[in-house]
């Protein structure tokens, strides 16, 4: 009589054991408390999360969607709240959720909720002023995941991007940075920091005395060099690419302009004819450097070395410039300044003033999904085409600089002001 081998017996027992294992029960109820909030090119989905369940989000353009239907986009193992990105503003989307319990089948689905993404910039959330003795914040930069804000008396704050965070808005937390270099500045005085930019690989901050500080993480800073500005206050810095070579440009009082490719050696520049008006802003826009300053000064350059004065048509100081391309209206440059001044151009050569939407001084403008300008007393102006503007408010403190990050605008200013529009 033949008996099964030991190996065959073990295999049979394993098969029998597997067959006896019981699949987990599926959830009895649909995910609770589901909400969908429209944002700029995105939607924020929230619900009451049970740590023992795995959640699935299904969505699609239109008024309805069915969970697990063929071709329906799905977000697996979602955690609340969850940002659903890469949506089209003005298009309605439908969202539905279900959950599984381990290896169980999916439980019941939630009712379908619809939301229509829309442009940000109109509604602002004001954060608690930064610092125990809030400094004036003059600039903010973003490297794709981290913010750096700089200001008076060498103040530096760093924080990580978080669209879902409410306090502070848009940032996990703002942390003050104590720079080792500030312990013994060359002239014994800690300079005000007037601006900061990001190249992606590093942050670069500019001191009003011409100090150039760099950091790869926003927390540890090194003195890279000093712009030989003399007594002139340095007000702004920009980074451009000219024939594949990085070109930094800084501008300041009395028309001071300098360029560098390494942040160490700086070359003085001047327009022709020479401009002696104070320069407050510099930006690299659509392949062109644009400098703005007192008495409507507006200069352009293709390389940072050769500068051409442009007739802005403005008498008031211009403080900043931006460039945007909108499918419906095409490409446009915008410069903003004191007394609500706004001038626009399609080619950076011919500029046209437009009727100001509000009187307060505007100190910075950016383009994300629309043009957004900020200024005195928390004033905000926004436009979808650079010509027709609407107004809003972002608190009562003066705002000095605004930038766009995924799904939101972030502005900083006097008294540690930090505010976000989603």
pLDDT interval class at 137 (50, 70, 90): very high
> What pLDDT score does 17 carry?
47
Q: Could you report the per-residue pLDDT of 6-16, keeping only the tens digit for each?
A: 555 444 444 44
Q: Report the candidate in 266, 269, 235 with the shortest Cα–Cα distance to residue 252.
A: 235
SS3 call for 246 = strand
pLDDT(183) > 70 = no
Q: Could you report the per-residue pLDDT of 245-267, keeping only the tens digit for each?
A: 999 999 999 999 999 999 999 99
Report yes or no: 55 and 76 within 8 Å, Cβ to Cβ. no
Residues 6 or more apart whose CB falls under 8 angstroms from that of 36 comprise 43, 44, 45, 46, 95, 113, 114, 115
Q: What is the pTM for the complete model shown?
A: 0.92
pLDDT(115) > 60 = yes
pLDDT(233) > 90 = yes
Taking residues 291-310, report their average pLDDT: 98
Domains within the chain, CATH numbers bracketed:
32-115 (2.60.40.10), 124-421 (2.130.10.10)
What is the rounded distance in angstroms from the CA atom of residue 230 to the CA atom of residue 215? 25
Taking residues 276-302, report their average pLDDT: 98
pLDDT(393) > 90 = yes
SS3 call for 247 = strand
Report yes or no: 312 and 335 within 8 Å, Cβ to Cβ. yes
Q: Could you report the per-residue pLDDT of 266-275, keeping only the tens digit for each?
A: 999 999 999 9
Q: Could you report the per-residue pLDDT of 331-366, keeping only the tens digit for each?
A: 999 999 999 999 999 999 999 999 988 889 999 999
The lowest-confidence range among 18-32, 190-204, 297-311, 396-410 is: 18-32
Q: Could you report the per-residue pLDDT of 238-247, keeping only the tens digit for each?
A: 999 999 999 9
Give the sign of the dihedral formed by CA 128, CA 133, CA 138, CA 143.
negative
> What pLDDT score does 293 carry?
98
- Only one residue has tokens 């993404």, namely 117
Please give the mean pLDDT across all residues of the chain. 93
> What pLDDT score does 190 carry?
79
Query: What is the number of other CB atoms lying within 10 angstroms of the CB of residue 387?
Result: 15
């Amino acid at each position: 009589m033949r008996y099964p081998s030991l190996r065959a017996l073990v295999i049979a027992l394993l098969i029998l054991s597997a067959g006896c294992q019981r699949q987990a029960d599926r959830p009895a109820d649909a995910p609770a408390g589901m909400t969908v909030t429209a944002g700029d090119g995105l939607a924020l989905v929230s619900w009451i999360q049970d740590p023992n369940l795995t959640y699935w989000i299904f969505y699609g353009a239109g008024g309805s969607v069915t969970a697990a239907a063929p071709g329906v986009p799905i977000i697996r193992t979602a955690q609340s709240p969850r940002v659903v990105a890469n949506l089209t503003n003005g298009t309605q989307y439908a969202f539905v959720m279900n959950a599984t319990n381990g290896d169980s089948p999916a439980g019941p689905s939630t009712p379908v909720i619809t939301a229509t993404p829309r442009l940000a910039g109109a509604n602002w959330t004001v954060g608690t002023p930064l610092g125990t003795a809030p400094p004036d914040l003059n600039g903010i930069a973003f490297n794709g995941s981290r913010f750096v804000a700089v200001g008076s008396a060498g103040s530096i704050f760093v924080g990580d991007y978080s669209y879902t965070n409410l306090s502070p808005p848009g940032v996990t937390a703002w942390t003050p940075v104590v720079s080792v270099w500030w312990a013994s500045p060359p002239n014994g005085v800690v300079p005000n920091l007037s601006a900061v930019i990001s190249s992606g690989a590093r942050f670069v901050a500019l001191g009003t005395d011409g100090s150039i500080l760099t950091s790869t993480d926003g927390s540890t800073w090194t003195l890279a060099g000093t712009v030989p500005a003399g007594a002139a206050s340095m007000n702004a810095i920009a980074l451009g690419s000219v024939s594949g070579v990085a070109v930094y440009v800084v501008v300041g009082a009395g028309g001071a302009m300098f360029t560098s490719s390494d942040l160490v050696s700086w070359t003085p520049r001047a327009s022709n004819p020479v401009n002696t008006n104070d320069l407050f802003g510099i930006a690299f826009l659509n392949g062109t450097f644009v400098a703005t300053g007192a008495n409507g000064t507006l200069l352009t350059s293709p390389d940072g070395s050769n500068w051409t004065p442009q007739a802005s048509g403005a008498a008031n100081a211009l403080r900043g410039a931006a460039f945007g391309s909108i499918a419906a209206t095409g490409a446009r440059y915008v410069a903003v300044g004191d007394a609500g001044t706004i001038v626009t151009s399609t080619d950076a050569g011919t500029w046209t003033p437009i009727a100001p939407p509000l009187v307060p001084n505007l100190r910075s403008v950016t383009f994300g999904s629309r043009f957004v300008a900020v200024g005195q007393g928390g004033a905000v102006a926004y436009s979808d085409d650079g010509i027709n503007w609407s107004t809003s408010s972002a608190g009562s403190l003066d705002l000095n600089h605004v930038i766009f990050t995924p799904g939101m605008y972030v502005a900083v200013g006097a008294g540690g002001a930090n505010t976000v529009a989603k």
